[in-house]
Amino acid sequence: MITTCQQMQQCEEAAFARGISAAELMDEAGRGIAAVVRQFAPRTGSLVLFLGKGNNAGDALVAARELLTDGWKVHARLCCEPAAMKELPRRHLQALSGHVRIIEDAIEFDFPPGPIVSLDGLLGIGAQGPMKLELELLAREMNALRSLRHAVTIAMDIPSGLNGDRGKACENAVVADITAVVAQIKAGLLADGADQHVGRIALVPLRELSSVQGDAQAAVLTPRLLRSWLPRRANDMHKGDAGRVGILAGSPGFLGAAELCCRGAIRAGAGLVTLIVREEVYPLIAARLPAEVMVQPVKDYREALDMDFDALAIGPGLGFAHEPQILEILSRLDLPVIVDADALTMISRHPEVMNEAAKLPRLMTPHPGEMARLLRHYPSWNGMSRRLLVESYISRSPGLTLLLKGTRTVIGTHRETTLFNSTGHPGMASGGMGDVLTGVCAAFAAQHVPLHQTAGLGAWLCGRAAERHLTLYHSAAESLGASDVTAHLGHALQDLKEGAF
């Protein structure tokens, strides 16, 4: 559920009226935040708590208590004397006396070699307006530690200085890499531009705050939502049951896109994957593909209309030399089709084809530039939020699912709940990621997963696979390549089944 801050506060008040104490909620929230740290920072190092006066500081201290047992060295930056803190955080700070080192300047402090993780415990969702000077100074210090020392910043519930309802950031608001959202997703975290401060969203559930009335027309992708969408394989399943995927991709100079798309389909569980290429491309690509991929050379792409597939992916590295053939397939083929890359550009040039294709089961996966080309005939849509743009576009296309890529991918289908992805990191800002996504989505579509759910599974899994590469190999985000994402799709699938953040 996506809520306003007021709705969340009312839910808390109702819990208190039922006899639930703030201390119980803080303890559960802190343990959940510690679990977030363990997932995204599995190597122990220096944990720096930036603490305000309120209960957000208490959540951070409970998390620190849990993480001490793992071997973290805990340091704290205080905005005030401990006596000025609220009762609960003051008690937790006293309980950790001797285990937490109070420091005066995190930038100048000589941390030992190893990971540095900052916990933003300055402000909670009740804060409004600009930060007080003492908190703003600590927020600036936290941001500087992230920039200069490459610390990982984890915000709790909401980055300090970000409005929880509108997503507007005040000056020097905390820039988080991960936001451990407590109980329910706050609307401001999903606003356009807020992702710069929010980063990766990890939902920490609280049992007593699970029943809240919010925006039921949108949802954030989490394993709790996604697990039931993932097909459970029967013991007697065979490759035909796992789906026949056809892929129209690749042209001279753009063979890697086709290869990545095929690898994505294989690693997402497709039973049979066939790459359809022009005869002149066949000798260039056949030897470089995984052994599991069949390659079908054709004189005319329209031969695919008579092939036996459960789903088709069209576009990665395809080129434009045979555009009329591709457009005919898009407007005629009555199968789930994943439309990406060059195929999207073709549709933007021929809106009449879009009118036909939108009546058929189609998943379009544009990045912002491709979306702009699709919308150039509709200037009235300029200035819309990403969510409103997606919802407006699909309202006129009943067969269409739209996955608008970006830092916070948005997915829409007519009469379905709008979905926001939570996974991924800036290392995915490199070529080929969309090609992998197209193959992954084709694999699920071929297993007869509805396209709306297909898009949600594909977006979450690709982002989680990218995260897995960093933690498993102690690798920097800058080194990530699209082929690394395909290599870790199996880990991402297992994380989904097991309920990772």
Alpha carbon 419 to chain centroid, angstroms = 11
CA angle 216, 220, 224 (to 5 degrees): 95
Q: Is 302 annotated as a binding residue?
A: no
Residue 244 known to bind ligand: no
Q: Is 257 annotated as a binding residue?
A: yes
Q: Is 41 annotated as a binding residue?
A: no
User: How far is 78 from 474, CA to CA, in rounded Å?
Assistant: 31
The verdict on whether residue 4 carries a ligand-binding annotation is no
367 known ligand binder: yes
469 is in an annotated binding site: no
What pairs with residue 121 in β-bridges? 51
On whether the CB atoms of residues 145 and 48 are closer than 8 A, the answer is yes
150: left (phi over 0), alpha (psi -120 to 50) or beta: left
408 assigned ligand-binding residue: yes
Helix count (H) and strand count (E) of the chain? 18, 19
407 is known to lie in a ligand binding site: yes
B/e letters for 367-383, b = 16+ CB within 10 Å, e = fewer, are beebbeebbeeeeebee
Residue 193, annotated as binding a ligand? no
Q: Name the CA radius of gyration of the chain, rounded.
A: 24
Helix ranges (H only) for 425-450 are 433-446
402 beta partners = 364, 412
CB 490 within 8 A of CB 461: no
Q: Which residues are annotated as a binding site?
A: 257, 317, 367, 405-409, 434-435
Q: Which residues are annotated as a binding site for (6S)-NADPHX?
A: 257, 317, 367, 435
Q: Which residues are annotated as a binding site for AMP?
A: 405-409, 434
